[in-house]
Structure 1
Amino acid sequence: MSELYRLLPSVDLILQRISESGRHAHLPRPLLKDLVNVHLGQLRADIRSGKLTASEELRWPALEGPLHAFLDRTSRPHFRRVINATGVVVHTNLGRSLLARQAVQAVTEACAHYSNLEFSLDTGQRGSRYTHVEELLCRLTGAEAGLVVNNNAAAVLLMLDTLAKGREVVVSRGQLVEIGGSFRIPDVMARSGAVLREVGATNRTHLHDYERAITPETAALLKVHASNYRIIGFHKEVSLREMVALGDQHGLPVLDDLGSGNFFDFTPYGLGHEPTVQEAVAAGAAVVTFSGDKVLGGPQAGIIVGRRAYIEPIKKNPMNRALRIDKMTLAALEATLRLYLDPELARREIPTLRMITATPDELRRRANKLARSLRRTLGQSAKVVLLPGSSRVGGGAYPEQDLPTTLVGIHPIVHALGVETVRDRLLDVDPPLVGRIEHDAFCLDPRTLSDAEHALAAQVLASVLHP
């Protein structure tokens, strides 16, 4: 055993050999040195356990391949690309919406060069970052003014802190929801300093419930989108227009948190009606908040639009600086909003809209194309079949509605691999491939798997299935 230990090359010698090979030149030397030490530690453990007994296995020619494979695997960034074949379009855990090509180009430009982020090209003096998107937001929504912060939770917090701190906000008990990541509307309201005044029952709230709750301490009426929570059956809630009429009678603003807000009407594509931002503004909401990175298909952002009398104080809130967006978000958002000036262009160019509106016939054709690619690459290692299935919008939108699709199912044949094993192994390849198990098969949904990713998905699957 001591002889085997002496045969292990030194760290410096291994680093020299790696340098001579030209591989891993992109890695910082301290990181490379740490990883080499970890690998050597594993080899020493194998010697101690008796797993490694042959001296030939410790000479450089034998060590080189496994070492490079170890470095390839362990030096990968923690945050990296994933192939989404789940069929969930706005997948919260996989990065939510993909940006349009135009938005990606805008982000690259903003990162690579100086910009007029807070510089007025008209006056040569300091400007405001909000001017780059405020006019677009107003044009698209019909609002008088707008601003953007880093996410919708921040938007709600800032809105309430500005307009209702220390006073009461009336909200339906059935809308006090908790969404992903233990985010609860009551907690955000409490942090803002607003006093929560619950009305109605969990399943039914009437207009008179709001009216009875109004006191001299009331600052606003609040309507909250239920996100991925739904009550069915014996249920009633007050419409935004009814709340606005009541608010007008008492001189109170109505604040509307749309959550995953959108500018696009999806009803022609088989989805139920969801209120758009334009509809909320037209209904008279004083302030509307919504996300930029869900159904809207842009970057992570919390967008606030509404009447100027309410938006201007929100802009001046000192907390706004702590919640503001950076130049990359701003660039991506402006590029995304510009596409919405032409709804059909937006549908074609914004990946989220394009995936949601894909037709069953289109998805069937794409599934056939994907299956052919997989059969060519996987050969006899798996049986590839087409299966009926459904996709989801995700991101808290349309939780109860399925989108019809055609799944591509993979039944592994080699080594009697189970589909669960295949699923788990696909998370440890580069890039990881995330699908789902249905019909006793590992399934890929072409709705979220682009045609350009077919060859890569086949290659990744082959690396797991081939003996």
Structure 2
Amino acid sequence: MDALVPPRRPPAIGRLLALPAARALVERHGRPLVVEALRAAAASFRAGEEAPILAAAEAWLDHHTRGPRRVLNLTGTVLHTNLGRAPLPEAALAAMAEAAGATDLEFDLEAGSRGERDAHCEALLCHLTGAEAALLVNNNAAAVLLLLRALAPRREVVVSRGELVEIGGAFRIPDIMREAGCRLREVGTTNRTHPRDYAEAIGPRTALLMKVHRSNYAIEGFTAEVAEAELAGIAHAQGLPMVVDLGSGSLHDLARWGLPREPTVREAIAAGADLVTFSGDKLLGGPQAGLVVGRADLVAKLRRHPLKRALRLDKTTIAALAAVLRLQADPDRLAERLPALRLLRRPQAEIAALAEQLRPALAAALEGQAVVSVEPCESQIGSGARPSDRLPSAALCLRPRRGLTAEALATALRRLPVPVIGRVARGAVLLDLRCLEDAEGFAAQLPLLAP
């Protein structure tokens, strides 16, 4: 009997386009995109979906045309890779806006001739790290790739087995070595590597010795590793460079602000590293970038490599990075001006007070759906910095009532106009408030959670 029922036919696209709601969509998105959206919605209509065609077309446009959305990071991971890592300071945002038009990106205003785009940050980087020269690429993985491709093609690179890291997105040191066209020479064991391991591995095919920050894991117990200064001595005795992939790349000792200590770029240079690579959007607190600092002759060799052009930064990123480096050059005021550092050193008492302030509104919005309490928790720095260290914090804990799950609550929070991203643990949703600075905006949208 069902086979005799004629298929539903949606209205013609032309008729739909004449409706006021469709004209409003055309004004926002242009006719070609709206036509495609209406056709997609019409196809769903024929397939039996019940959503009105115009509403379905608007949802299609929203899904296919929006860029990254602002979210509230309440995960407890301050430098969250999936949520954009370091929040940019106002100085960086202003610099990006100023650089959006014509700039002296690659123009030397004094000479009236072509300039070098890395020059906008090079002097600051040398001042902050003690290096002779510096260059910029689009992330630290690119910096490592360029370094290896320029200095070690078809040759061996010696790395401790305990430093063969894999970071987010399945980026692995052995894979980057292979893509760079060089051969990985592992030395030592997972937990212990000694100076003799490096010395015995050096041969006629050796290009350089490399030390890699372990990033997102720690080795504890019966361990041994070779310090940077000793490794540099071994390399230099054989006329080889020693390079350090420092990952997060702190420019200052975080212990100054009561945080877990991270090795600094200046320390690596002072220990004898010939090149150091690190990120711009982690502990440095800036935009995504990969930075290489060190010996002028080696930096020049990297700059001349054809791959450098493919990995270069755009003008707005360079402007933002230069603004952040200027902030980094004034450490006495850095904690107030750099959002990443401000959030990392936020006192637990302040976070707990904010949680108590917001708890009644959230409890009212979720009445009948969840029990809301304030509980102590632990935040983490994120992006591979001090993975074993935790920062005391406080969270709004949402325990679902019978018939509801923590996953459903987390989904409802993500569907708010400004999505709220927490974490699910032990059957509850935890909203760590360490990174919440827009408490008013958070509270304003809570009534939308009501059933």
- Could you state the TM-score of these two structures normalised by the residue count of structure 1? 0.88
Which residue in 2 is equivalent to 1:95? 84
Which residue in 2 is equivalent to 1:457? 442
Which residue in 1 is equivalent to 2:230? 242
Task: Report the Cα distance in structure 2 between the residues aligned to 1:76 and 1:226, rounded to whole angstroms.
Answer: 38
Query: What secondary structure is seen at the aligned counterpart in 1 of 2:28?
Result: coil
Kept in 2, the 8 Å contact 1:222–1:256? The answer is yes
Distance 1:216 1:367, change over 3 A: same
Which residue in 2 is equivalent to 1:59? none
Which residue in 1 is equivalent to 2:94? 105
Task: Report the Cα distance in structure 2 between the residues aligned to 1:339 and 1:35, rounded to whole angstroms.
Answer: 46
Aligned AA (1:31): L
Which residue in 2 is equivalent to 1:36? 38
Aligned AA (1:103): A
Q: CA deviation at 1:404?
A: 0.7
Aligned match for 1:203, one of 169, 174, 191: 191
Which residue in 1 is equivalent to 2:115? 127
Which residue in 1 is equivalent to 2:450? 466
Query: What secondary structure is seen at the aligned counterpart in 2 of 1:136?
Result: helix
Query: What secondary structure is seen at the aligned counterpart in 2 of 1:90?
Result: coil
Query: What secondary structure is seen at the aligned counterpart in 1 of 2:98?
Result: helix
Task: Report the Cα distance in structure 2 between the residues aligned to 1:346 and 1:15, rounded to whole angstroms.
Answer: 54
Aligned match for 2:294, one of 303, 306, 314: 306
Distance 1:171 1:74, change over 3 A: closer
Matches within 5 A, 1:266-281: 266-281=254-269
Percent identity at matched positions? 44
Kept in 2, the 8 Å contact 1:117–1:128? The answer is yes
Which residue in 1 is equivalent to 2:410? 423
Aligned AA (1:10): A
Kept in 1, the 8 Å contact 2:276–2:294? The answer is yes
Q: CA deviation at 1:403?
A: 0.9
Kept in 2, the 8 Å contact 1:391–1:403? The answer is yes
Distance 1:145 1:75, change over 3 A: closer
The Cα offsets for residues 123-169 of structure 1, whole Å up to 9 and x where unpaired, read as: 11111101100000001111110001111111111112222223322
Kept in 1, the 8 Å contact 2:38–2:54? The answer is no
Query: What secondary structure is seen at the aligned counterpart in 1 of 2:250?
Result: coil
Q: CA deviation at 1:85?
A: 1.1
Kept in 1, the 8 Å contact 2:25–2:58? The answer is no
Kept in 2, the 8 Å contact 1:271–1:401? The answer is no
Which residue in 2 is equivalent to 1:168? 156
Q: CA deviation at 1:120?
A: 0.8
Matches within 5 A, 1:61-76: 66=55, 70=59, 74=63
Kept in 1, the 8 Å contact 2:45–2:53? The answer is no
Query: What secondary structure is seen at the aligned counterpart in 2 of 1:401?
Result: coil
Distance 1:280 1:417, change over 3 A: same
Aligned match for 1:398, one of 358, 376, 386: 386
Task: Report the Cα distance in structure 1 between the residues aligned to 2:133 and 2:199, rounded to whole angstroms.
Answer: 28
Kept in 1, the 8 Å contact 2:269–2:276? The answer is yes
Query: What secondary structure is seen at the aligned counterpart in 2 of 1:88?
Result: coil
Kept in 1, the 8 Å contact 2:74–2:421? The answer is yes
Task: Report the Cα distance in structure 1 between the residues aligned to 2:39 and 2:263, rounded to whole angstroms.
Answer: 57
Task: Report the Cα distance in structure 1 between the residues aligned to 2:262 and 2:13, rounded to whole angstroms.
Answer: 61
Q: CA deviation at 1:218?
A: 2.3
Which residue in 2 is equivalent to 1:58? none
Q: CA deviation at 1:23?
A: 5.7
Distance 1:67 1:184, change over 3 A: closer
Task: Report the Cα distance in structure 1 between the residues aligned to 2:164 and 2:374, rounded to whole angstroms.
Answer: 42
Task: Report the Cα distance in structure 2 between the residues aligned to 1:371 and 1:72, rounded to whole angstroms.
Answer: 36
Task: Report the Cα distance in structure 1 between the residues aligned to 2:389 and 2:370, rounded to whole angstroms.
Answer: 32
Distance 1:275 1:224, change over 3 A: same
Task: Report the Cα distance in structure 2 between the residues aligned to 1:314 and 1:343, rounded to whole angstroms.
Answer: 30
Task: Report the Cα distance in structure 1 between the residues aligned to 2:180 and 2:423, rounded to whole angstroms.
Answer: 40
Matches within 5 A, 1:47-66: 66=55
Q: CA deviation at 1:457?
A: 3.0
Task: Report the Cα distance in structure 2 between the residues aligned to 1:172 and 1:387, rounded to whole angstroms.
Answer: 42
Q: CA deviation at 1:179?
A: 1.4
Q: In the alignment, is residue 212 of structure 1 matched against residue 200 of structure 2?
A: yes
Task: Report the Cα distance in structure 2 between the residues aligned to 1:417 and 1:72, rounded to whole angstroms.
Answer: 31
Which residue in 2 is equivalent to 1:361? 349
Kept in 2, the 8 Å contact 1:199–1:213? The answer is yes
Task: Report the Cα distance in structure 1 between the residues aligned to 2:56 and 2:190, rounded to whole angstroms.
Answer: 60
Task: Report the Cα distance in structure 2 between the residues aligned to 1:42 and 1:194, rounded to whole angstroms.
Answer: 51
Q: CA deviation at 1:264?
A: 2.6
The Cα offsets for residues 356-381 of structure 1, whole Å up to 9 and x where unpaired, read as: 11121222222233335535665676
Query: What secondary structure is seen at the aligned counterpart in 1 of 2:27?
Result: coil
Kept in 1, the 8 Å contact 2:71–2:418? The answer is yes
Q: CA deviation at 1:391?
A: 0.8
Q: CA deviation at 1:269?
A: 4.6
Which residue in 2 is equivalent to 1:60? none
Aligned match for 1:448, one of 429, 432, 435: 435
Query: What secondary structure is seen at the aligned counterpart in 2 of 1:155?
Result: helix
Task: Report the Cα distance in structure 1 between the residues aligned to 2:294 and 2:81, rounded to whole angstroms.
Answer: 27
Aligned match for 1:192, one of 157, 171, 180: 180
- Could you state the TM-score of these two structures normalised by the residue count of structure 2? 0.91
Distance 1:419 1:211, change over 3 A: same
Distance 1:108 1:78, change over 3 A: closer
Gaps (5+ residues) in structure 1?
A: 53-62
Which residue in 1 is equivalent to 2:314? 326
Distance 1:381 1:283, change over 3 A: same
Moved more, 137-146 or 172-181: 172-181
Query: What secondary structure is seen at the aligned counterpart in 2 of 1:294?
Result: coil
Q: CA deviation at 1:72?
A: 7.4
Aligned AA (1:462): P
Aligned AA (1:448): C
Q: CA deviation at 1:300?
A: 1.0
Q: CA deviation at 1:117?
A: 0.4
Task: Report the Cα distance in structure 1 between the residues aligned to 2:302 and 2:39, rounded to whole angstroms.
Answer: 54
Aligned AA (1:212): E
Task: Report the Cα distance in structure 2 between the residues aligned to 1:127 and 1:403, rounded to whole angstroms.
Answer: 44
Q: In the alignment, is residue 295 of structure 1 matched against residue 283 of structure 2?
A: yes
The Cα offsets for residues 250-281 of structure 1, whole Å up to 9 and x where unpaired, read as: 22221111011111322245543221111111
Runs of 4+ in 1 over 6 A off after TM superposition: 1-4
Matches within 5 A, 1:364-383: 364-375=352-363, 382-383=370-371
Kept in 1, the 8 Å contact 2:160–2:186? The answer is yes
